[in-house]
Structure 1
Amino acid sequence: MDRFHHDSARAKADDSSSIADGVSLSRRRYSQGGPPGNDSIELERINTYRVQQQLTVGSRGSRIPQDQWLPIGAGKPYPPPLPDSEAYVVEFEGADDPMHPHNWPMKKRVMLGSLLTSCALVTAYGSAVFATAASGAEKEFGFGEEVAALGTTLYVLGFSAGPTVWAPSSELLGRRWPLLLGMFGFDLFMIATATAKDTQTLMLCRFFAGFCAASIIALVPASLSDVFNNHQRGVAIAMYTMSVFTGPFTAPFIGGYTASSYLGWRWTLYVPAIVGFFCLALIVFFTTETYAPIILVQKAAILRRQTRNWGIHARQDELEIDFKELVTKNLARPFLILFTEPIAFLLTLYMSFIYGLAYALLEAYPIIFEGTYGMTGGTAGLPFIGLIIGEIAGSTFVLSLSGRYSRKLAANNYVAVPEWRLPPCIVGGAVFAGGLFWFGWTGWNSNIHWMAPTAAGVAVGFGLTSIFMQCFNYILDTYSKFAASAFAANTMMRSMVGAVFPLFTRQMFNNLGIQWAGTLLGCIAVVMIPIPLMFYLFGGRLRQKSKLAPVMDLMPPAEEDIKEA
């Protein structure tokens, strides 16, 4: 029995040392010589999952006293522990192991990425579509414009609350089950919203629809990171970013035409639910688990059956889940990252403003194109196409630089320097601010053609996508071992801001006037332009001082990069 206690204590000690080793691993390699080769980078990424499980899920040592252990039964004594437990642990064969998601056939990975980004598009669409149903709901239930705006606000607040559940679930159960449950919940609550008989039910179901949709918004980037390496991930994140913003901007004209037709306002909510069920079916039949620790659990189960050796297991099987520790690690760490890491805080602040503005535009566009230009129904939503065109242009701009990024990555032995991501973000920030001034000073007077503020949307969409794509990639590169927590913190804060903006946008534009409200937003955007510039110039130094951001790169960002961008 003493041996059991000894092994438990040793496992706990191993946990503590491996966590410390994981945080400082990159710094040790930095100080020991040149960067590792490509295979070593992939192997290190694979081995990082060992540490990541303990950092995000639980620990290997048992917390249950021996006198509380369950008996084996039939009077049998406890068997001795495995002679060398490490020999029974299932691992990947190496960087080229076909079971590792990075080595899956490209066709499979592209199909998986396309399906997941389509799900993100549908759930993001659901966030904005209620604005087109609001007038019909107002007449039926008798509430005003402020209450109608809550339909969007509560959904986006669900985005903020959801990651606190879905992020730890994905570390414990893998990505697939939380994605399935979240998509199913989104579909059910969208139908419940469409069939609501009173205001309370309507608003409550909107919140829970957003809460469930948060599983898609929060976990799709993690899933894309699971299956695409640094060289390929830029395109995948571009598609995700496009889906997150194209969804809300297509809702005004699709939902507008639906609400003004014989179908009525309730069908604006049925449509995303129906499409969501279709996406759910595709996830069920055409996706597999992407989270490496869970893949190893599945591999271990197969090996146990094949070899009849029941000691074979994955490291995930060794973990003992403690609710207190689970809550502490998964709830406290996002806030720890957010409020102790200058990179995470300032980037999240910047992205939160951009995200909030995206939802503010859902209120501002009707003020301009319905109020100033007299458009109605779905026609009033067509100017959002300018924003979508801008998003496509922004994605094209960023992806056009991916070849240059790949060459720099290869020259640095495939060690990513996060600051290489930022030049397009800096350019996008300037274009974004200019688009806001353009939008405000061309949309206030009906004597100015409606194409002028619509064209301003191209600049706004270009900047919005350029900023978000590269900020997402920068966060992934900077907090690689803590990506789930970093994204959870980012999603929670920007969703809170996005939820608040629609509540005061209409009043701000009505009281200040369109031109001065646009000027105010443009000035705030100008003030925030230096944030990515500061990280481009000084991000490497900040990462060296960080306890959570590994420093694997040896090449500082070249000063001429920003000039070339």
Structure 2
Amino acid sequence: MSDPGRSSPSPTVEIPASGFRDEKKEVDDSNATADIVVDFDGPNDPLNPRNWNKKKKWTATLVVSAFTFISPISSSMIAPASSQVADSFGVHNDVVIGMFTSIFVLAYAIGPLFLGPLSEIYGRNRIIQGANVWYLAWNTGCAWAQNTGQLLAFRFLAGLGGSAPLAVGGAVIGDIWEAEERGQALAIYALAPLLGPVVGPLAGAFVAEDSTWRWVFWSSSIADVAILALGVLYLRETYPPYLLEKKTNQIRKSLDAEKGPVRNVRSNLANEDRTWSRVIRIALTRPFILLYKEPIIQVLSLYMAYIYGLYYLFLTSMPLMFQGVYGESVGISGLHYLALGVGVLVAAQILGSLTDSVYNKLKAKNNGVTRPEYRVPLLIPGAIALPVGLFITGWTVQAKVHWIVPDIGIALVGGSIILSFQAIQLIVVDMFAFYAASALACVSFLRSIFGFGFPLFAQQMYRKLGYGKGDTILAVIAIVIGCPAPWLLWAYGPQLRARSKFAKQPT
């Protein structure tokens, strides 16, 4: 890293790394000790991730999505087998049984707070792959757990590693795709953290029914090994400041080897924060600063937290619905997760086809000036569909209507959640640019706290209130939080962003 002590008000010479030696010869004597500012080699530099070809961009997007897919599978795959685990360890407390699933999500609240910012120091790729190895080790350890304490501890540690792609993946998408074409890529990526928890219980139900709960962990670890291999083969570094810093270090070493005049070499994207001591201190505290000082982050975090909490409440309560009310077996009740998956998939495809076109039309109407608020209209369908889906699900289960009707409500809930989830991810990535990983860590923190807490009261709520009244309360809260959110962001977003230290301004 460059030493700020060498940064003085001296003239600068901006040159690319690849042509450094020839460019140095062209610098006259008056600039012999000028600063050298290292940038990408023009608008077509292949080192710049934005200049990768479409094949390489989509490969990186799909690999990151695969990393983001396997972790949420692990988060929820144990849900249908929770009763088996409880019997194995002699657990009868509903809260502890709920924690078998949700403690993994609690780790999602903590991991991104340091893994996201650390990716702004060490690069995205190193953090994603290193954390995945950590996840693999502890997830495999869950299969060997001999008591409740070991299982909960191993699940939490596995969740810390599994949170990395959730913290960094969205930032990778922001690194490689332009804003005008980012929507479809992020729509595919955002499927993973919501589709994974659907596939997990569906697979876990049949694994647990035909084998033991320990194979829930063995099978997910085997799948993760394949994804880890894909990452090693195809995932490359994407964070521009890190890439330019590597180029800067190469130039600095070249100058030192030539023993020429002392030159201050720095990256074009470097600033006072890029010294090691400052970067480590600031990057590790930045998510908390954003959460405390940025009203937009607070609003988006609260809204995503609520819908994510609802999502995990549904994941853990669906076996109660269909095993308890409809008397279905573990395996058959797991098939109802397909309704949630259908809603997620259909809504994601609709959003993926619309998000960039809506963004580009609004940009054209504004004389080509981009604004992150152009993603806000995508929140509206989700804000409407969520309470409708909750009303349908709760009252039809309460009346024991044919299972297809609550499945329709469940599909609406899944679709509304993915619409809101993807729109918020896009807004955050567009708005905070180079600080996207830290901003996403803020959003992830609150949503994961809710994802951990909501399943813990699901059983008690439905037992006391029933499914109709319970889901009605959840629907009313969704209306109070969700319906004003798009209007508030559209009306006041530009003003709040203008006062922000970290948010990207219109271009």
Interval containing the TM-score (normalised by the shorter chain) = 0.7 to 0.9
Q: Which amino acid aligns with 2:119?
A: S
Match of 1:370 in 2: 323
Q: Which amino acid aligns with 2:144?
A: T
Pair 1:149 & 2:98 matched: yes
CA distance in 1 between partners of 2:77 and 2:362 (Å): 42
Q: Aligned-pair distance for 1:399?
A: 2.4
CA distance in 2 between partners of 1:430 and 1:106 (Å): 35
The percent identity for this pair of structures is 32
Match of 1:466 in 2: 419
Gap change, CA 1:551 and 1:177, over 3 Å in 2: closer
Pair 1:290 & 2:245 matched: no
Q: Aligned-pair distance for 1:326?
A: 4.5
State the superposition RMSD in angstroms: 2.5
Question: Contact 1:348–1:494 (CA<8 Å) still a contact in 2?
Answer: yes
Q: 1:530 aligns with which of 479, 484, 487?
A: 484
Match of 2:132 in 1: 183
CA distance in 1 between partners of 2:264 and 2:224 (Å): 39
Q: Aligned-pair distance for 1:133?
A: 2.6
- SS of equivalent residue, structure 1 residue 375: coil
- SS of equivalent residue, structure 1 residue 548: coil
CA distance in 1 between partners of 2:292 and 2:357 (Å): 35
Question: Contact 2:348–2:418 (CA<8 Å) still a contact in 1?
Answer: yes
CA distance in 2 between partners of 1:13 and 1:335 (Å): 33
CA distance in 2 between partners of 1:381 and 1:303 (Å): 58
Q: Aligned-pair distance for 1:256?
A: 0.2
CA distance in 2 between partners of 1:320 and 1:536 (Å): 37
Gap change, CA 1:303 and 1:271, over 3 Å in 2: same
CA distance in 2 between partners of 1:125 and 1:108 (Å): 26
Match of 1:559 in 2: none
Correspondence 1:28-427 to 2 at 5 A: 83-84=32-33, 86-87=35-36, 89-144=37-92, 145-261=94-210, 263-300=211-248, 309=258, 315=267, 319-322=274-277, 325-326=278-279, 328-401=281-354, 402-410=356-364, 412=366, 415-427=369-381
Match of 1:490 in 2: 443
Q: Aligned-pair distance for 1:423?
A: 1.2
Q: Which amino acid aligns with 2:44?
A: D
Q: Aligned-pair distance for 1:392?
A: 1.7
Question: Contact 1:252–1:378 (CA<8 Å) still a contact in 2?
Answer: no
Match of 2:7 in 1: 11
Match of 1:452 in 2: 405
Q: Aligned-pair distance for 1:549?
A: 2.7
Q: Which amino acid aligns with 1:218?
A: A
CA distance in 1 between partners of 2:218 and 2:266 (Å): 43
Q: Which amino acid aligns with 1:394?
A: A
- SS of equivalent residue, structure 1 residue 143: coil
Question: Contact 2:180–2:360 (CA<8 Å) still a contact in 1?
Answer: yes
Match of 2:387 in 1: 433
Q: What do the CA deviations read for 1:150-205 (whole angstroms, capped 9, x no partner)?
A: 12222111111112321232111111111111111111111000111122111100
CA distance in 1 between partners of 2:496 and 2:169 (Å): 28
Question: Contact 2:174–2:430 (CA<8 Å) still a contact in 1?
Answer: no
- SS of equivalent residue, structure 2 residue 276: coil
- SS of equivalent residue, structure 2 residue 38: coil
Question: Contact 2:430–2:504 (CA<8 Å) still a contact in 1?
Answer: no
Match of 2:23 in 1: none
Question: Contact 1:253–1:379 (CA<8 Å) still a contact in 2?
Answer: no
Stretch moving more, 417-426 or 448-457: 417-426
- Structure 1 gap ranges (5+): 1-6, 15-45, 47-81, 554-565
- SS of equivalent residue, structure 1 residue 422: helix
Q: Aligned-pair distance for 1:10?
A: 6.5
Match of 1:53 in 2: none
Q: Aligned-pair distance for 1:279?
A: 0.8
Match of 2:465 in 1: 512
Gap change, CA 1:539 and 1:298, over 3 Å in 2: closer
Q: Aligned-pair distance for 1:13?
A: 8.8
- SS of equivalent residue, structure 2 residue 238: coil
- SS of equivalent residue, structure 2 residue 45: coil
CA distance in 1 between partners of 2:368 and 2:217 (Å): 46
- SS of equivalent residue, structure 1 residue 549: coil
CA distance in 2 between partners of 1:362 and 1:521 (Å): 15
CA distance in 1 between partners of 2:143 and 2:229 (Å): 21
CA distance in 2 between partners of 1:266 and 1:499 (Å): 22
Q: 2:396 aligns with which of 422, 434, 442?
A: 442
Q: What do the CA deviations read for 1:485-520 (whole angstroms, capped 9, x no partner)?
A: 211111111111111111111111111111000101
Q: Aligned-pair distance for 1:406?
A: 2.3
Q: Aligned-pair distance for 1:297?
A: 3.8
- SS of equivalent residue, structure 1 residue 187: helix
CA distance in 1 between partners of 2:185 and 2:266 (Å): 29
Q: Aligned-pair distance for 1:527?
A: 0.5
Q: What do the CA deviations read for 1:400-441 (whole angstroms, capped 9, x no partner)?
A: 322242244356565421221111211211111111111111
Stretch moving more, 313-322 or 171-180: 313-322
Gap change, CA 1:414 and 1:113, over 3 Å in 2: farther
Q: Aligned-pair distance for 1:484?
A: 2.2
CA distance in 2 between partners of 1:258 and 1:10 (Å): 61
Gap change, CA 1:141 and 1:12, over 3 Å in 2: farther
Q: Which amino acid aligns with 1:284?
A: V
- SS of equivalent residue, structure 1 residue 443: helix
CA distance in 1 between partners of 2:316 and 2:34 (Å): 60
Q: Aligned-pair distance for 1:456?
A: 0.7
Q: Aligned-pair distance for 1:304?
A: 7.0
- SS of equivalent residue, structure 2 residue 46: coil
Stretch moving more, 383-392 or 531-540: 531-540
Q: 2:499 aligns with which of 542, 545, 553?
A: 545
Q: Aligned-pair distance for 1:94?
A: 2.6
Question: Contact 1:258–1:268 (CA<8 Å) still a contact in 2?
Answer: yes
CA distance in 1 between partners of 2:54 and 2:426 (Å): 21
Q: Aligned-pair distance for 1:353?
A: 0.2
Gap change, CA 1:376 and 1:250, over 3 Å in 2: same
CA distance in 2 between partners of 1:502 and 1:188 (Å): 26
Q: What do the CA deviations read for 1:219-250 (whole angstroms, capped 9, x no partner)?
A: 11111111111012111111121111000011
Q: Which amino acid aligns with 1:205?
A: F
- SS of equivalent residue, structure 1 residue 522: helix
- SS of equivalent residue, structure 2 residue 39: coil
